[in-house]
Amino acid sequence: MNETLCIEPYKRHALMCCGKSCGEQIPLLKSLKAKVAAAGLDKGADAVRVNRAGCLGVCKQEPIMVVHPEGVWYSDLDESKLDRIVEEHFKHGKPVKAWAFHGTN
Ligand code: FES
């Protein structure tokens, strides 16, 4: 088979841990995707690609999410924290240092 794979361009990649120790955060992952879309960041030059991940090797203070290309790691996520991360980090390029435990130095 000679099939060409294609992924739409994106600026950031958010990987949310949905591993067992993080409580299999599927509802929060779906919510993040909805927030990204509502902010108009699901396509275009500033798009954020959101994917579920298996264990990211931290397994404390879950839920855990890492955002590339900055390599910023967030913990203890909830709906309101995601709102702020979408607004400040994804929209304006300023990671929310208050909830980041790595990658903001
Ligand atoms: S299960 Fe989430 S970091 Fe390990």
pLDDT tens-digit profile of 29-88?
A: 999 999 999 999 999 999 999 999 999 999 999 999 999 999 999 999 999 999 999 999
If you average pLDDT over residues 83-97, what whole number do you get?
98
**Which pTM was predicted?**
0.93
Q: Decide if domain 24-102 falls under CATH 3.30.420.40.
A: no
> How many C-beta neighbours within 10 Å does residue 45 have?
8
**Residue spans per domain, the chain:** 24-102
Q: Is 15 in the pocket of ligand 1 (CB under 6 A)?
A: no
Check whether 1 has a pLDDT greater than 70: no
Q: Is 18 in the pocket of ligand 1 (CB under 6 A)?
A: no
Distance of alpha carbon 14 from the chain centroid: 3
Check whether 2 has a pLDDT greater than 80: no
Token pair recorded at residue 76: 């203890």
If you average pLDDT over residues 15-20, what whole number do you get?
95
Q: Is 77 in the pocket of ligand 1 (CB under 6 A)?
A: no
Ligand 1 centroid–CA 88 distance in Å is 25
Pocket test for ligand 1, best of 51, 58, 74 (most atoms within 8 A of CB): 58
